[in-house]
């Protein structure tokens, strides 16, 4: 489904990604973790072309993301993305947020889009908020709407870029619950997160990054059992320690 | 003392001389505002496009317009167009075009600030949904930029309304010209200019008050 081959990226002289390679199969849930500045957010943004890269290849569903001839909007329409800061459109109601991509990008009718949107809103438990504006919702609620907005496009896979990092602790679980449900339903997911509880529960694999490199790429059991690299062990002991 | 007498300013006199000018001033303000915002938004998008061949002409245009007094632009446009095209444009039409072109430079700076005030994540979210650049701008960025900047855009429009009086330079028939004619015909220039000033003040001041209220309302919604 997603294949990242030897991707390297520089900001000017500074190399942010170094020779990153991994593969995510259909239905797989892969958690990407690592200290801040390790390049994990940059890597996930390379998958749908929000970040460009200078070397290597990213193939999503058989299409090369880095190829200048690729129709990126068309590709992105079917790759859902959830952001750290939700990025709901503040000038639109929740319903309109759910409709806009379906209508303007997929060409669905407004009625069809509304129906699909409300169904998903139901699913994330926010049907009653349909006519409100994003600013009237809590962070956790906004993020659940953002997940619903991505799902409304019928994505072939979902990318999560630190979806709970900007949330108050008491709101993290409501978002993780939705993600766990998605994972158990077989959605292909790439998730940048520090939530190791989530990783333990539903991830198939865990990727550990540091200084722009993929240091570990292991099955969940192996990663939490015996991470090979010292750096990953140190990282784990720090975030699992409390 | 001054010995002022406003008795001659009857409703008939006002509607005969001033109304026509007032309507033109309002028309000029609206046309230049709408045209200026549309053109200004295009200029702002050009300047933020990241392509040198779009950025440079837009920047040159904006900086030139902002460096020349409006009254000179009005005069030069009025004098140059007949020379270039071989036929006169008429003072009113000339004023409409000049003001639109001139105000676009100021509106573009406002829209540029407005666009830059939108977090980059919003653009990323538009792209991530599969929107094109044009869709992201039209559906996500510009509506928010416009709303953020609405008070400033309207304040600029109030200044624009005051500046419409500069069309006296080419003899266009605006609000001020109407009063000027009354003053000449009744030989009462002091009174007519006083009333003209009062009218400009009342209109501009009430609009500013409205903008302040609007600002308060917008900030609550956000």
What phi and psi values does residue A10 have, to the nearest 5 degrees?
A: -125, 140
CB contact under 8 Å between B130 and A78, yes or no, is yes
Other Cβ atoms less than 10 A from the Cβ of B154: the count is: 17
CA angle A67-A68-A69, nearest 5°? 90
Burial B166-187 (b: 16+ CB within 10 A, else e): bbbebebbbbbbbbbbbbeebe
Q: Name A5's bridge partners.
A: A57
Q: pLDDT, tens digit, for every residue of B24-50?
A: 999 999 999 999 999 999 999 999 998
Residues of B in contact with A91 (CB under 8 A): 143-144, 147
Say how many residues make up chain B.
222
Measured distance CA(B2)–CA(B45) in Å, rounded:
54
Residue B140 makes CB contacts below 8 A (sequence gap 6+) with: A89, B118, B122, B123, B125, B126, B131
| C-alpha to C-alpha distance for A81 and B216, rounded to whole angstroms | 35
The stretch A149-171 carries a mean pLDDT of 94
3-state secondary structure of A18: strand
Give the residue from B123, B130, B134 with the most A CB atoms within 10 Å of its CB, the best one to mutate: B130
Please report the pLDDT score of residue A233 as a whole number: 82
With a pLDDT cut of 90, the percent of chain B lying above it is 75
Q: How far apart are CA A86 and CA B83, in angstroms?
A: 57
pLDDT over threshold 80, residue A241: no
H-assigned helices in A86-195: 94-104, 110-123, 139-151, 169-184
Select from A79, A81, A104 the Cβ nearest to the Cβ of B135: A104
User: Greater confidence, B15 or A157?
Assistant: A157
CB pairs under 8 A between A and B: 66
**Tokens found for residue A160:** 């999560």
A227-239 mean pLDDT: 79
Name the nearest CA neighbour of B171 among B60, B80, B90. Answer: B90
> Which pLDDT value is given to residue B5?
80
B147 touches chain A (CB under 8 A): yes
Residue A72 has pLDDT above 80, yes or no: yes
Average of per-residue pLDDT across A145-149: 96
Residues of chain B contacting residue A101, judged by C-beta atoms under 8 Å apart = 129-131
Place A48 in a pLDDT band, splitting at 50, 70 and 90: very high
Reported as a pLDDT band with limits 50, 70 and 90, residue A81 is very high
Please list the residues that pair with A15 across neighbouring strands.
A10
Q: Do A85 and B121 touch (CB under 8 A)?
A: yes
**Mean pLDDT for the stretch of residues B178-183:** 91
Tens-place pLDDT, residues A6-18:
999 999 899 999 9
What is the chain B residue with the closest CA to A51? B124
- Give yes or no for residue B8 having a pLDDT over 60: yes
Where are the domains positioned within chain B?
Answer: 24-174
pTM as predicted = 0.88
Q: Is the pLDDT of residue B3 over 80?
A: no
B24-174 has which CATH code? 1.10.3720.10
Residues of A in contact with B147 (CB under 8 A): 91
Residue predicted with more confidence, A127 or B10: A127
Helices A139-151, A169-184: crossing angle, 10 deg rounding:
20
What is the mean pLDDT of the segment spanning B132-144? Answer: 95
pLDDT over 60 (residue B220): no
State yes or no: pLDDT of A222 exceeds 60: yes
Q: Distance between CA A117 and CA A99 in Å, rounded?
A: 6
């Amino acid at each position: 489904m997603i294949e990242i081959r030897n991707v390297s990226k520089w900001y000017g002289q500074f190399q942010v990604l170094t020779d990153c390679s991994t593969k995510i199969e259909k239905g797989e849930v892969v958690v990407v973790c690592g200290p801040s500045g390790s390049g994990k957010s940059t890597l996930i943004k390379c998958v749908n072309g929000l970040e460009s890269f200078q070397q290597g290849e990213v193939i999503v569903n058989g299409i090369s993301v880095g190829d200048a001839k690729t129709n990126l909007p068309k590709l992105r329409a079917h790759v859902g993305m959830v952001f750290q800061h939700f990025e709901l459109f503040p000038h639109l109601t929740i319903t309109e947020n759910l409709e806009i991509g379906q209508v303007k990008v997929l060409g669905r009718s407004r009625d069809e889009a509304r129906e699909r949107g409300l169904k998903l809103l139901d699913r994330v438990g926010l049907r009653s908020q349909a006519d409100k504006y994003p600013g009237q919702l809590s962070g956790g609620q906004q993020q659940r709407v953002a997940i619903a907005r991505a799902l409304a496009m019928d994505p072939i896979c979902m990318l999560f870029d630190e979806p709970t990092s900007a949330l108050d602790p008491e709101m993290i679980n409501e978002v993780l619950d939705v993600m766990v449900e998605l994972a158990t339903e077989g959605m292909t997911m790439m998730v940048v997160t520090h939530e190791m509880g989530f990783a333990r529960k539903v991830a198939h694999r865990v990727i550990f990054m540091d200084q722009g490199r993929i240091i570990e790429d292991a099955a969940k059991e192996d990663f939490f059992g015996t991470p090979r690299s010292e750096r990953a062990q140190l990282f784990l002991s720090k975030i699992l320690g409390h | 003392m001054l010995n002022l007498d406003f008795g001659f300013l009857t409703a008939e006199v006002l509607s005969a001389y001033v109304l026509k000018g007032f309507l033109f001033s309002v028309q000029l303000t609206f046309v230049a505002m709408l045209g200026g915002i549309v053109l200004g938004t295009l200029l702002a998008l050009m300047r933020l496009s990241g392509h040198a061949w779009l950025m440079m002409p837009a920047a040159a245009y904006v900086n030139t317009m902002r460096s020349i007094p409006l009254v000179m632009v009005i005069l030069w446009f009025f004098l140059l167009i007949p020379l270039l095209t071989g036929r006169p444009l008429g003072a009113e039409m000339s004023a409409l075009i000049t003001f639109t072109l001139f105000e676009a430079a100021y509106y573009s700076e406002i829209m540029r600030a407005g666009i830059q005030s939108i977090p980059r994540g919003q653009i990323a979210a538009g792209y991530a949904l599969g929107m094109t650049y044009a869709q992201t701008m039209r559906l996500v960025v510009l509506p928010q930029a416009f709303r953020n900047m609405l008070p400033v855009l309207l304040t600029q429009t109030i200044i624009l309304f005051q500046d419409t009086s500069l069309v006296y330079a080419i003899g266009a028939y605006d609000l001020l010209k109407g009063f000027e004619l009354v003053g000449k015909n009744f030989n009462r220039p002091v009174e007519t200019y006083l009333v003209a000033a009062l009218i400009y003040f009342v209109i501009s001041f009430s609009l500013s008050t409205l903008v302040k209220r609007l600002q308060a309302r917008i900030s609550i919604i956000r």
